[in-house]
Amino acid sequence: MVSGYLDHLTVERGLAANTIASYRRDLRRYAEFLAGAGVEGMGEVGESDVAAFLVALRSGDDDHPPLSATSAARAVVAVRGLHRFALLDGLVGDDVAAEVKPPAPTRRLPKAIPVEQVEALITAAGSLEGPRGLRDRALLELLYGTGARISEAVGLAVDDLDLGSAAVRLAGKGGKERVVPVGSYAVRAVEEYLVRARPALAEKGRSGVRGGALFLNARGGPLSRQSAWSILRDAAERAGIDAELSPHTLRHSFATHLLDGGADVRVVQELLGHASVTTTQVYTLVTVERLREVYATSHPRALR
């Protein structure tokens, strides 16, 4: 039955090969667990067996290390899907896995860096000679100045910019567009890049100086996400920043610094392009942690 279920996911649901491979491993482990518990068929499985499997995933055993909440949740989803498939095929009379909920993944707070490190990062990016330094500085200034996702930034066309009114049109997830203001530092950096660097880069490719992708690589083609990540990593190394950075670091810092400065969470939601304010509210946890640090080190009755 497991093979039939996986075939269903492949053909009818179109799941990726890697996902199918993960589900196959999860269900093989589930079958071994049931066999070890003396359960011989799907009709004999009870809700307690499914719940016990989840416990086993999280605690581990002699043959398996404990799984993280994310990995255990994936395995439970695979098991729940198998039982639902068996019910719909009439192989069992009840869906005994329906009430066994996957564990909630650990909530990770967004990683932000202090303003001083942002400034050092941008300065390091612009320290390179020639067009590359101007491009790299403009890219990082724009990322931090608008909170754009890395994919949104590298996907920008020159025509998406309106530097006269200090705004940029970003294409977010699901094709949803938003217009975001651009700070004066980013405006100046982008203007300098457009005048002094982009024409030289464009001459090496087919993009042309007018229109086309805003950020170009050394061959005159559109800058890739991987190249943007390398720009950030190299700038961090030159700036001597040891913190673990990712292309999302400047977006996280943008949101956190706005909230630290008193911005309303719903305004930050609009700027980030979040569909729900709930997604944005995770940043408020970061600012609360910062408030706790300041309180603990500053208030005379907080010291222990």
| Residue 251 bears catalytic tag | yes
Distance CA 219, CA 96 (A): 58
What does each C-alpha distance from 21 to 28, 78, 212, 275 come to in angstroms? 11, 11, 40, 32
| Residue 257 bears catalytic tag | no
| Residue 132 bears catalytic tag | no
Tokens of 184: 């004066």
Which of these is catalytic: 74, 137, 149, 257?
A: 149
- What does DSSP assign to residue 216? B
Which of these is catalytic: 83, 137, 257, 274?
A: 274
What does each C-alpha distance from 209 to 34, 133, 159, 215, 239 come to in angstroms? 65, 18, 12, 11, 31
Tell me how crowded residue 139 is: count the other CB atoms within 10 A of its CB: 30
- Angle between helix axes 131-146 and 184-196 (nearest 10 degrees) is 150
Distance CA 300, CA 298 (A): 6
| Residue 299 bears catalytic tag | no
Which of these is catalytic: 173, 176, 196, 219?
A: 173
Distance CA 163, CA 182 (A): 8
Which of these is catalytic: 132, 178, 225, 248?
A: 248
What residues contact residue 26 under an 8 Å CB cut-off, 6+ apart?
Answer: 74, 75, 78, 79
Taking every pair of C-alpha atoms in the chain, what is the biggest distance, in angstroms?
74
Which of these is catalytic: 29, 251, 252, 257?
A: 251
| Residue 185 bears catalytic tag | no
Which of these is catalytic: 5, 30, 144, 283?
A: 283
Catalytic residues: 149, 173, 248, 251, 274, 283
